[in-house]
């Protein structure tokens, strides 16, 4: 029997990094979601970290315990305190590597799920199977594209803001923006 793609050690290292380093936490929140994690308690901890950060709270053991509330029993308060022990470094390149590993495992799990759905359709004698397979494949790809698009949009926001401030300071008029969206933004000094 083959194992589901996962890397629990990397999941724990990511969560520990989020506890130890605000820059690492921000990078992880921008790049990952709960489905990036395989282990259920790691999904819960990441969701709590993301929710705390979105509300402007610091991430520490007490705030995490409180954010988890009743779910803390399923995670275990001792588990939270062990997460930083899995961190070798919170530097950008290390975090990027961890993020890439988790995203690769997530994509592999999605491919297995899609394959399973298609296999079931074949065994169940589905009618119009080619069209249904195409729809499932498109929806799978769309999910990936949407996630990538959101990450790219989020990354581009800081650049857009800097360009806007620069143009505003110089009194320039700008039509449209670098996203290619057809709109007209006009400002004057």
The pLDDT score that the predictor gives to residue 181 is 43
Q: What is the pLDDT of residues 58-80, one digit of tens each?
A: 999 999 999 999 999 999 889 99
Q: What is the pLDDT of residues 85-112, one digit of tens each?
A: 999 999 999 999 999 999 999 999 998 9
State the Cα–Cα distance between residues 184 and 186, nearest whole angstrom.
Answer: 6
Q: In 44-188, where do the E strands start and end?
A: 174-175, 184-185
Q: Give the residues across from 184 on adjacent strands.
A: 175
Give the single-character DSSP code of 39.
S
State the Cα–Cα distance between residues 136 and 18, nearest whole angstrom.
Answer: 34
Q: Judging by beta carbons within 10 Å of its beta carbon (0-12, 13-18, 19+), is residue 80 exposed, middle or buried?
A: buried
Q: What are phi and psi of 128, to 5 degrees?
A: 55, 45
Count how many residues are written for the chain: 189
List of long-range contacts for 133-137, beta carbons under 8 Å, 24+ apart: none
The pLDDT score that the predictor gives to residue 184 is 39
Identify the CA nearest to 172 among candidates 182, 180, 163: 163
Give the single-character DSSP code of 56.
T
Does this model's pTM top 0.85? My answer is: no
The terminus-to-terminus CA distance of the chain in angstroms comes to 67
Which residue stretches of the chain have pLDDT < 70?
Answer: 140-189
User: Token pair for residue 86?
Assistant: 């899995």
């Amino acid at each position: 029997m083959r194992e589901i793609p996962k890397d629990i050690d990397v999941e724990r290292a990511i969560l520990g990094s989020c506890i130890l380093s605000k820059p690492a936490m921000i990078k992880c929140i921008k790049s990952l979601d709960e489905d990036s994690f395989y282990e259920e308690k790691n999904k819960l901890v990441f969701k709590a970290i993301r929710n705390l950060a979105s509300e402007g709270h610091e991430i520490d053991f007490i705030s995490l315990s409180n954010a988890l509330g009743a779910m803390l029993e399923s995670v275990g308060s001792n588990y939270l305190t062990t997460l930083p022990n899995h961190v070798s470094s919170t530097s950008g390149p290390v975090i990027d590597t961890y993020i890439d590993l988790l995203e690769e495992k997530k994509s592999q799990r999605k491919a297995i799920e899609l394959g399973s759905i298609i296999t079931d359709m074949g065994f169940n004698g589905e009618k119009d199977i080619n069209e249904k397979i195409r729809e499932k494949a498109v929806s799978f790809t769309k999910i990936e594209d949407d996630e990538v698009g959101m990450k790219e949009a989020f990354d581009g926001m800081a650049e857009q803001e800097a360009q806007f401030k620069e143009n505003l300071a110089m009194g320039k008029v700008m039509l449209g923006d670098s996203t290619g969206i057809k709109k007209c933004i006009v400002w004057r000094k």
